[in-house]
Amino acid sequence: MHSSIYLLLLIVVPLAGALAAALVRKVQGLAYALGVGTALVEMALALIVAFLYNPHVKNAQTYDFVTRHVLSAPFGLAYDVAVDGISLLMVVLTALVLLLALLGSRDKRREAAFVGWLLALTSFTMASFLSHDVLEFFIFFELTLVPSYFIIAGWGGAQRAKAALKFFIYTFSGSAFLLIGILYLGFAHQHQTTGVLTFSYSALQSTGMTHSTAVWLFIAFAIAFAVKSPIWPFHTWSPITYAEAPTGGSIELSALLAKLGSYGLLRFAVGLFPLALPTMRPIVLTLAVISILYGSLIACATPDLKRLVAYSSVAQLGFITLGIMTGSKIAMVGAVLLMFNHGVITIGFFLIIGFIERRRGSYQIKDLTGLQGPAPVMAALFTIVMMASIGLPGLSGFVSEYLILIGTFGTHAWWGAIATTGVLAAAAYLLWAYQRVFHGRAEGANASITDLNFKERWVLVPVVVLILALGVFPKPVLDRISPSVQVLIHHVAPAGVNK
Amino acid sequence: MAHVVTLLLLMPLVGYLVVLLNGTSLKERYVGAVATGVVALSFVFAVVAFVLVLHRSNREVTVHLFDWITVGTLHVPAALLVDPLSVTMCLFVTGISALIHLYSIGYMRGEKDYRKFFLYMNLFVFSMLILVLANNLLLTFVGWEGVGVCSYWLVSYYFTKDAAASAGKKAFLYNRVGDVGLLIAMFLIFGHTHTLTYLNVFHVAGTFSPTVATLTVLALLLAATGKSAQIPLFNWLPDAMEGPTPVSALIHAATMVTAGVYLLVRMSPVLTMSPDGRATIAIIGGATAFVAATIATAQKDIKKVLAFSTVSQIGYMVMAVGVGAYSAAIFLMVAHAFYKALLFLGAGSVIHSLNGEQDLRKMGGLAKYLPLTFPTFLVAWLSISGIPPFSGFFAKGDVLTKVFEHNKALWVLGVVTAILTAYYMTRLFVLTFRGTERFREVTKGHDPHESPWVMTLPLVVLAVLAALGGLLNLPWAHSSSLAGFLDPTFGFVPAVSSSSTIAQWGLALVDVVAAVLGLLAAYSIWRGVSESPRFESPFFEHVWHWDDFYDDVIGRPLTRAAQYSDDVIEPKVIDGAVTGVAVATRRSAEGLRKIQSGFVRQYALAMVLGVAVIIVYLVARVH
């Protein structure tokens, strides 16, 4: 067992960075430098945890870096953190998103505040992924709304106020159900056992409940996470929010915060209420498949690049949800991997769209033509990201999508078969958008744009490296995910499906 | 053996990386040399591998490279299967690729993205080798998609042209439809065998139920119709002619488009389990061969004629697979690679000499200006028309003989197609090289010039191969022929054909008569003709209105549905429902409006305060 100090640092370092950024806001550029420094430290910490992580520390459990301190027994409050193969990738992603969002989208308007909010958001998100206590998770899950709101409302586009409000009301309404569910579960557990109020994840996993209770609690949890993901039909906040948010905000929201939804669905909704699964599985699987098809369909018609990525994300999150809900080990591992891969791919998309916007002042498809002529490097990097998203074998997106589909097909052949047509749809909307934006003859303002500069290329290097590495050699990552998924499946269905 | 095959595979990747990483510091004239050299080296290693395989008693060798995906029961290694089939594929793929790379040095000279062209070409060869060498379906799929994406890049190589950009996208999307088939086939196979490794699947292929076997075979067929341009997915291939001509020769004639046939042949033990599936394959192949041949009779663009000819010839191969004549399919694939690559490169030489003109109506009388292109093209023409003793006669004859043993109706269709083939090829030949000179406008009065040696040398080599390719598989030399080499791979005991020798001679005679018939008909119609579009049915010229049909039935309705969803369903229905709930709530609680206007900020503030209180409380407790 490794020391949990690393996890504490992962949460505290960015928070400290945020406070420091607030203190030095008067000095031009210092807050930004501080932010980048903090992000580098955070990245280093995340990588240390990723490499040290050992799934075999305890029998039948795959948690490492575990610690638990009860902070307030009467309220059931605890500081309880741990990492397993399911959260490990999310920890790395959280650090990566911070670093690349800072490096790739510098915004000099009230820079210290922007950096501060980004750092705070990272701290809260990190804490959510590390929480091994349901109430603790909820608190940080909710706290992420505050910096997100201010980032959208403070640095967004023309409709930022509307977008921020919509984002906040949607996600906040969703979490109301979650809070009720958590409290109910905690009290139920208290009554069944020694009378001590606790929200410890492992303790709550053993709460006895009837089938109908399980179903209601599952629904309460799933609504919050479906809004966050987002899953059809709870997705309509996301296109306007991603489009109006500044580049850094779009990255944080879609590459990272969306994963809180699928992570929550897997860890808490599925992990705590296995009894509800036989009833809920077909419903959620169907919503997932609708998300894939509907998201793809609208992505074909949507007029701007940011919305295109937003709807593409609806489809991708559909794949993730499919993998989570099937009960197949292969599909679940694929879903966890896709959470990470989709994060990386989305960072790539929004960074490049940001670079286009920086040059052309627009990300409307109709304003852009023939960019491959004046900006071949930008086109090449966009192509790599796009192909990873389409699911080209040899790139990261394929491995995860393939695992999800082959696993789903084994347990739910019809859903799997319909979802497989989603790989065709992704190619359709992305290649069409690529043709309109990058192919053709560039004229006027499009002809005179500059190609990516040195720094912009370097920011995209980690994205490209991860896309290639996880496509060609995903084994080290799969070996870390698999044992934890195995444990979860064993809990969910002791004698059940294990394909 | 393991090292040889690994090197064979990696050479094109090395070339790709050398050109990519050196960037502009590598002079352009070395780019072509590096790219061609690595592929030539690959060919050398392929020859060595062939000799090694030939002298082994156990002709199936697995070369394990590394573990790629391992989750639960799914184990997919990056591993290669070296057997007669894959070695045969490697030999002709690398050999023809090397020649076409050499040709491209001349053909692509002066192009703006010269470097990028060779990058994609090397990457293509690498993908193609993965496709044929993979020891499991999923790794084959890696190569399958790799060649697809290289095809996309190379077709839309002239990306400033809308037609080229659209053609690249169309090629990719049609192939994706096929890919869904291959994915489903993999899922079905994995569901029943828990493995994707060929040899393991083959061991248990006998346990497939008829339903599963037929579903799997149909899914594989869908994949093949995408990649190999068969009905119903064939109409991307003619559009793909927007790519540079060497690309058409390599990818869209000799190698990639035959991948579907390779896949079906590779999966022959599963095909064996489903007679229904095989019958479907044979019908699709026969129908495609015929339909594409009719279309080829009415095309005016020299490359379009060749494109539909390719579709038609692959139809023959697919038909052969359908009747279980796997080695005949591979034989035709190899022979076709020789003469069709030659036809495309010859056409490229013609186009080159006419400053890019591709319209047959503006050619004619070129024989005396192109002293090397003309005779080599002549060999290719006679070969594809099925005139003995050129390779096409033997290869097509082999297929038709096997079809005759299975299904007389399909055989008749095949023979009619053979007449059409001789007809449209002769038409093309006459319009290009004979008759009056109609190109003066294009060349601005100048005489057309023969291409440089880097372009004509591959023509000569391919002409020799196209002429003598029949030697690979002479019907009377069974044990030392291509079929004798391949058949054990399909689990067959090498055996002579069930038809008697007399019957075989008779069938061969029918083939010759068919070829001569088509040839003479076209020669008498088109000799001396320049403008008049006789026998060019508009219905054939417009590809049986296949594209219009897809546009009407799939393309436009889907576009409209997408637009409607974005304009109406998304904002009004789905978002509207949620907003509606919010509005209703607000109306019913009009009094709360003041609070609600500042709702978010207040809530956020409350939350921050709440957390602060909690933290203070905790700190106080700890001390």
Mutation site, B183, B222, B585, interface A, largest A CB count within 10 A: B183
Q: What is the ipTM of this complex?
A: 0.92
**Measured between CA atoms, how close is A77 to chain B, in angstroms?**
10
| B145 lies within 8 A of chain A by CB | yes
**Measured between CA atoms, how close is B406 to chain A, in angstroms?**
34
The mean of the pLDDT values for chain B is 87
Q: What is the mean pLDDT of residues B226-230?
A: 94
pLDDT of residue A58: 66
Chain A partners within 8 Å of B578 (Cβ): 170, 236
Q: What is the mean pLDDT of residues A394-406?
A: 95
Task: Report which of A136, A289, A314 is spatially closest to residue A237, judged by C-alpha positions.
Answer: A314
Of A387, A405, A479, the CB nearest to B187: A405
Q: How confident is the model at residue A495 (pLDDT cuts 50, 70, 90)?
A: very low
CB A292 within 8 A of CB A262: no
Q: Contact A165/B608, CB-based, under 8 Å?
A: no
A324-352: per-residue pLDDT in tens?
A: 999 899 999 999 999 999 999 999 999 99
pLDDT of residue B42: 95
Torsion sign, CA atoms B307, A430, B145, B268: negative
Residues with Cβ within 8 Å of residue B389, at least 6 apart in sequence: B467, B470
Q: Contact A420/B180, CB-based, under 8 Å?
A: yes
Q: Scan for tokens 């992603």, then name that residue.
A: A93
Q: Scan for tokens 């006679």, then name that residue.
A: B382
Q: How confident is the model at residue B214 (pLDDT cuts 50, 70, 90)?
A: very high
CB A326 within 8 A of CB A407: yes
Q: What is the mean pLDDT of residues A381-393?
A: 95
pLDDT of residue B477: 66
CB pairs under 8 A between A and B: 163
Task: Report which of A81, A422, A125 is spatially closest to residue A255, judged by C-alpha positions.
Answer: A125
Chain A partners within 8 Å of B563 (Cβ): 301
**Range with the poorest average pLDDT among A257-271, A445-459, B265-279, B524-538:** B524-538
Q: Say how far apart CA B78 and CA B69 lie, in whole Å.
A: 8
Residue ranges of B 224-283 with Cβ closer than 8 A to chain A: none
Task: Report which of B133, B47, B137, B39 is spatially closest to residue B85, judged by C-alpha positions.
Answer: B133
| B574 lies within 8 A of chain A by CB | yes
Chain A partners within 8 Å of B180 (Cβ): 420-421, 423-424
Residue of A nearest to B71 (CA): A330
Residue of B nearest to A307 (CA): B566
Chain B partners within 8 Å of A117 (Cβ): none
Chain B partners within 8 Å of A297 (Cβ): 558, 561-562, 565
**How far, rounded to the nearest angstrom, does the alpha carbon of residue A304 sit from its chain's CA centroid?**
22
Q: Scan for tokens 């990190």, then name that residue.
A: A126
SS3 content of chain A, % helix, strand, coil (to 5): 75, 5, 20
Phi and psi at residue B364, to the nearest 5° = 95, 140
Q: Say how far apart CA B39 and CA B122 lie, in whole Å.
A: 8
Q: Contact B562/A406, CB-based, under 8 Å?
A: no
Residue of A nearest to B174 (CA): A424
Between B38 and B507, the more confident residue is: B38
Q: Say how far apart CA B364 and CA B150 lie, in whole Å.
A: 34
CB B115 within 8 A of CB B31: yes
pLDDT of residue B594: 46
B134-182: per-residue pLDDT in tens?
A: 999 999 999 999 999 999 999 999 999 999 999 999 999 999 999 999 9
A30-52 vs A111-130: helix crossing angle, rounded to 10: 20
A253-277: per-residue pLDDT in tens?
A: 999 999 999 999 999 999 999 999 9
A245-255: per-residue pLDDT in tens?
A: 998 889 999 99
Residue ranges of B 63-122 with Cβ closer than 8 A to chain A: 66-74
Chain A partners within 8 Å of B169 (Cβ): 431-432, 435
Q: Contact A394/B162, CB-based, under 8 Å?
A: no
Among residues of chain B, what percentage have pLDDT more than 70? 89
Burial of B452 (0-12, 13-18, 19+ CB in 10 A): middle
Q: Say how far apart CA B22 and CA A148 lie, in whole Å.
A: 43
A145-173: per-residue pLDDT in tens?
A: 989 999 998 898 888 888 888 888 888 88
| B584 lies within 8 A of chain A by CB | no
Residues with Cβ within 8 Å of residue A132, at least 6 apart in sequence: A63, A66, A68, A80, A81, A82, A200, A201, A202
CB B193 within 8 A of CB B200: yes
- What is residue B188's three-state secondary structure? helix
Q: Does B494 have pLDDT greater than 60? A: no
Q: Contact B183/A370, CB-based, under 8 Å?
A: no
Q: Does B623 have pLDDT greater than 50? A: no
pLDDT of residue B553: 87
Residue of B nearest to A333 (CA): B71
Burial of B29 (0-12, 13-18, 19+ CB in 10 A): exposed
Q: Does B358 have pLDDT greater than 70? A: yes
For residue A483, give the H/E element and its range: helix A475-492
**Measured between CA atoms, how close is A297 to chain B, in angstroms?**
5
Q: DSSP labels for B293-347?
A: HHHHTT--BHHHHHHHHHHHHHHHHHHHHHTT-HHHHHHHHHHHHHHHHHHHHHH
Query: Distances in Å between the alpha carbon of A74 and those of A78, B10, B184?
Result: 11, 65, 55
**Measured between CA atoms, how close is B410 to chain A, in angstroms?**
33
Q: Does B532 have pLDDT greater than 70? A: no
- What is residue A133's three-state secondary structure? strand
A85-104 vs A329-360: helix crossing angle, rounded to 10: 0
Q: Contact A410/B577, CB-based, under 8 Å?
A: no
Q: Contact B607/A146, CB-based, under 8 Å?
A: yes
B192-207: per-residue pLDDT in tens?
A: 999 999 999 998 888 8
Of B72, B172, B604, the CB nearest to A149: B604
B400-444: per-residue pLDDT in tens?
A: 999 998 889 999 999 999 999 999 999 999 989 988 888 888 877
Domain boundaries, chain A: 5-492
Mutation site, B66, B70, B71, B602, interface A, largest A CB count within 10 A: B71
Q: Does B591 have pLDDT greater than 70? A: no
Mutation site, B69, B116, B156, B550, interface A, largest A CB count within 10 A: B69
Q: Does B600 have pLDDT greater than 80? A: no
Q: How confident is the model at residue B50 (pLDDT cuts 50, 70, 90)?
A: very high
Of B176, B565, B618, the CB nearest to A423: B176
Q: Which tokens hold the place of B407?
A: 């299904």
B282-327: per-residue pLDDT in tens?
A: 999 999 999 999 999 988 899 999 999 999 999 999 999 999 889 8
| B211 lies within 8 A of chain A by CB | no
Q: Scan for tokens 């689990």, then name that residue.
A: B491
Of B70, B74, B180, the CB nearest to A406: B74
pLDDT of residue B562: 86
Q: Does B554 have pLDDT greater than 90? A: no
Between A66 and B8, the more confident residue is: B8
Phi and psi at residue B357, to the nearest 5° = -75, 135
pLDDT of residue B360: 86
pLDDT of residue B530: 58
Q: Say how far apart CA B282 and CA B399 lie, in whole Å.
A: 12
